[in-house]
Structure 1
Amino acid sequence: MKRFWYYIFVFLLLIGCSSNNNNNGGNTPNPPDTPDTTKDLTIYFINDQHGQLDNFAKIKYIVDEAKESTNVIVACSGDIFSGNPVVDNYPEKGFPMIDIMNQVGFDVSVIGNHEFDYGEAIFTDRVNQANFQWVCANVDMSSSTIPQSSPYTTVTVDDIKVTFLGLVETNGKDDDIIPSTHPWRVQNLTFQRPEDVIAQYSDVKEQEGSDLMVALTHLGYQSFGGSISDSDIANQFPYFDLILGGHSHQIIDDNINGIPIYQSGSNLNYLGKAVIKIKDKTIQSIDHSLLNLNNYFNEDDDLKAIIDDYNNLPYLTEIIGNSQRYHNRPQVGCFYTDALRGAMNVDFSIQNSGGIRSDLNEGNITVREIFEISPFNNGTMIYSMTVAEIKNFLRGSGSGFYYSGIHIDQVGNTVEIRDINNSLLADNVVLTLGTNDYIPAVHDSYFTMAGDIQTLTAAETLIYYLENINSTVDYPSCSRYFRFQ
């Protein structure tokens, strides 16, 4: 019996000691551990991929691996279309790009100017297809079929909230406020200058209770055409913790007014990466790097198989001509305008420099290369214009053009136009002009006459020329470019 009470005593003693250890003396509970309020976040970002698909399998591998150890957001700064015929000429234009971005796991994209290139109906389908959030604060889509984009969205990952405000450039037309796309394809949309709307969102970070406020822009790093740029935003609207930009196709790693500004080149050659430590809703540190995807070899096998299937289009590899040498953009401009003039059977032709998107390599010319040179599916038109009307257009448009079939010179403050034999043409002489329909749409004040709409697009016209008129491209030197100064 004594032994029994002895064991009871020892048991109670042990319980008491254990209680004392757990309760800091048995009277006061242990204070909770002080939490580490520093939050870790990695943002991966791209811009201006222009339809390129191939490196997305690498991006998915990188992103998925990072998600195993940290918080990740994936963002795009716009211009996801126009540049790859696999995407641009797909039966449902643009579908492969959105499909692949969905599978990578993008969280947000700003609307770039080339998102409108396919027209309203197709962009409506692509917006509805996307699993990520589109943002753009300076467009009103209420009169169109396109679902209205949010001016901003807040992405939450774990306990981190990041708000992205979207902005698109509006330098598409001198006498209108539209992005740099075909004016006929945004007729039901209303745009504002980005600088006129930014201040409306100065308190959004506080309203959303966000850890970070990011400007996700498609404006360009520096001002062009009078519109605001990323650099201007940092100086004039310092509400942002970070600016992720696009449109100018640059590699940018800058800090202006204490705000980091990044841009990751173009055509999906690079993946931007920002490793951020956040404390008390401010960036404590940010480590920016740029991953060269062309030197990276790990890929997500499943996504690679899907991309390979999209790329399996034998008609794009069809040989339709031969390039006798490497041709840079000015040389391609000479080929382009010669082809328009020859295929359209006109006196002269013009082509805007921004509509030529690729050089031409030496060797066989494939269908793919022509669609890469001329990706926008612009139509073609023929106009009859007097020499005086042509001069007025060249003086007043402020734009530069490649041309074929005439000689154009600036003499002082006047323009002289000569025929192919170098004979000066009088102002009342009427010439036929072949051009893509983007030029008269942008410069409609100079193209008030009715044009003759052609059946082929600009790219199809180039292909017709190579297949039926002249399959050899050879321009050792060529400088048929005019811009009134």
Structure 2
Amino acid sequence: MKIDVHHKNSSITRTLITFIILLCHFSNFGQETVVIFAINDPHSEIKNFAKIKPLIDAEKAINSKVYFVAAGDLFSGNPIVDYHENKGYPMIDMLNKTDLDVSVLGNHEFDYGQTILNERIAQANFPFICDNVSGGAGELAAIKGSATITKDNFSIAFIGVVETGSPGGYPLTHPKKIEGLSFTEGLDSFDAYKDIKTTEDVDLIVALTHYGGAKDEDILERNNFVDLVIGGHTNQEYGVPHANGYKVMSGANLDKISKTTLTITNKEITDFEFEIIDLNEANLAVDETLSQDIAAYFDNPTFYTNIGTALSTLSRGSTSCFYTDALQKISGSDMVVQNNGGVRDVIYEGTITPYSIYSIDPFGNGFDTFTMTVPQLRTFLNNYTSGFSYSLDASFAVGKDQNNAFIFFKDGNLLTNSDQVTLSLNDYISNVYPNLFPTAPSYVFPLTTADYLIKYLTDFVTEPIDYEGCYRSKYTLNTATAISETPYKIFPTHIEINSQETSFNGKIFSITGKLLHSSSDTKKIDTQQLSAGVYIFKFSIENGAQFKIQKFIK
């Protein structure tokens, strides 16, 4: 019998190839490669969206399972977006044009108020999610706790929660902006989703949170069915494994975007790769059409008018000195306090513009004055535990007595418990901590704090501002005992110390709080080098344990 060797070898070859194909098929059964791009806390920054689009488009060209998600705080921080005629719309426009798949509500999503937030949600081509909020009207009433998004037969269930770190269990936003809404602890949201991989045939469960890094860790520890947490709020940068899954966060202000590449085998993550991409890198591709759209948003000359000058770039603390002193001048109050979290940017060297001020103070807070008794101001300072900055006014001084209790001086005179003082501050503080204030402010200013900062620069300031090195926080609030007598005399050319103390210190400050001179145990301080103006002299003894402050004119 004749055998066709060639035919026999061909059959063996085909059988072998078929076997190899089947082997590869079964070894990769249920295996998928999924890419998730994520941003968090962009705070109205839109300039880098023109670089985001090419990154995502390039990945989509080679992978059918590419997601783009946001972990909250889309708004508040950039005047171009925050003061647009449709507040916040440029951010929604950019996210629509870069094909965002889903966003969780962050605490600053509420900063514009519920009516405007509803308008922005309606304009979005993507869903907002948040499981631990209820009670809203309009679009907010339709907010769901999760969204399942499927791409090429692969589905991810995104579960959203927002932080509730403000007193009373509310997100950190102005209480007036969330009236009528109810919030629950986000950790309690997840148990309801523990079976959705089977009940809804979901391939992956992702917690998309605006909750903070530590809380994201709690989610993974308590819920072993959550595969991945994509978080925001604390502005960190990481992509790390956990015993029960993985967690990522991507910085803030749209400076960076994260790229998480997952290998999924039978609905489990079997490989995890994480990359932070710096969007400020010059060599990244730019989408020209989107770049032109962004430039059009920034083309608003009213934001760039010259309203002042700064001699140097200030720190956040020095900017707070300027902030509180400006509002003290506007209000005429004894003291102005500003929460540290309410100062969002710094003053930069050179020209100051409305854009600068709205970047520093983006929230549109009101401004109130409270007339208080001495015990009421003492109660406020003792019980307002958040970080704050305060104004410097030579006519009003804060000290402590021998019992470590706050005492107050007006024009050098010790105030009694029956005396009244005035305290001015933004209405966010008084609405979050109403128990620390009288029932109502004695005066409600008609404009916002940012508007009054602009008014201060345009109406009162004629010289460049100079607050370099200034730092006033609750931790530096004077805890010394004020001296009732005046152990010095101020002359046109010098200050003469006539104290009998053997150890003392004399300091001269500019009216803005900048330290100009400091000397110890010097009986005569020359002031001839000072230019004409108003200054503050502080005399202290016993290593600063007792002090006397006086304003003088040169």
Instruction: Compute the TM-score of the two structures, normalised by the length of structure 1.
Output: 0.89
1:86 pairs with one of 77, 80, 84: 80
Decide whether the 8 Å contact of 1:124 with 1:147 is kept in 2: no
Distance 1:345 1:264 in 2: 43
Which deviates the most, 100-109 or 474-483? 474-483
Which deviates the most, 250-259 or 429-438? 250-259
Matches within 5 A, 1:233-272: 233-272=219-258
Decide whether the 8 Å contact of 2:226 with 2:244 is kept in 1: no
- Matched letter for residue 285 of structure 1: D
1:455 pairs with one of 422, 446, 450: 446
2:188 pairs with one of 190, 196, 206: 196
2:329 matches 1:342: yes
Give CA-to-partner distance per residue, 1:414-457, whole Å, 9 cap, x none: 44243465654322221222211101000111224222221110
Distance 1:201 1:422 in 2: 64
Decide whether the 8 Å contact of 1:143 with 1:188 is kept in 2: no
1:76 pairs with one of 59, 70, 73: 70
Distance 1:117 1:412 in 2: 44
Decide whether the 8 Å contact of 1:121 with 1:145 is kept in 2: no
Distance 2:359 2:98 in 1: 25
2:99 matches 1:105: yes
Q: Structure 1 residues 420 and 47, CA, compared in 2 at 3 Å: closer, same or farther?
A: farther
Corresponding residue for 1:154? 148
Cα distance, 1:199 vs. partner? 1.9
2:48 matches 1:52: no
Decide whether the 8 Å contact of 1:270 with 1:293 is kept in 2: yes
2:459 matches 1:468: yes
Distance 2:326 2:34 in 1: 52
Distance 1:141 1:105 in 2: 29
Distance 1:49 1:142 in 2: 24
Q: Structure 1 residues 138 and 221, CA, compared in 2 at 3 Å: closer, same or farther?
A: same
Distance 2:146 2:268 in 1: 19
2:434 matches 1:434: no
Q: Structure 1 residues 426 and 64, CA, compared in 2 at 3 Å: closer, same or farther?
A: same
Give CA-to-partner distance per residue, 1:361-384, whole Å, 9 cap, x none: 111112111111101011111211
Q: Structure 1 residues 387 and 303, CA, compared in 2 at 3 Å: closer, same or farther?
A: same
Cα distance, 1:133 vs. partner? 1.1
2:218 matches 1:232: yes
SS at match of 2:280: helix
Asked which structure has the greater RCO (Cα within 8 Å, sep 6+), the reply is 1
Decide whether the 8 Å contact of 2:401 with 2:407 is kept in 1: no
- Matched letter for residue 333 of structure 2: V
Distance 2:110 2:94 in 1: 19
Distance 1:218 1:140 in 2: 16
Corresponding residue for 1:283? 269
Give CA-to-partner distance per residue, 1:195-230, whole Å, 9 cap, x none: 2222222223332211110011111112xxxxxx11
Corresponding residue for 1:213? 205
RMSD: 2.4
Decide whether the 8 Å contact of 1:408 with 1:482 is kept in 2: no
Matches within 5 A, 1:379-398: 379-398=366-385
Cα distance, 1:409 vs. partner? 4.7
Decide whether the 8 Å contact of 1:77 with 1:216 is kept in 2: yes
Distance 2:259 2:273 in 1: 8
Corresponding residue for 2:169? 177
Decide whether the 8 Å contact of 1:140 with 1:148 is kept in 2: no
SS at match of 2:140: coil
* Identical aligned residues as a percent: 36
- Matched letter for residue 454 of structure 1: F
Decide whether the 8 Å contact of 1:74 with 1:105 is kept in 2: yes
Cα distance, 1:408 vs. partner? 3.8
Cα distance, 1:30 vs. partner? 10
Cα distance, 1:144 vs. partner? 6.3
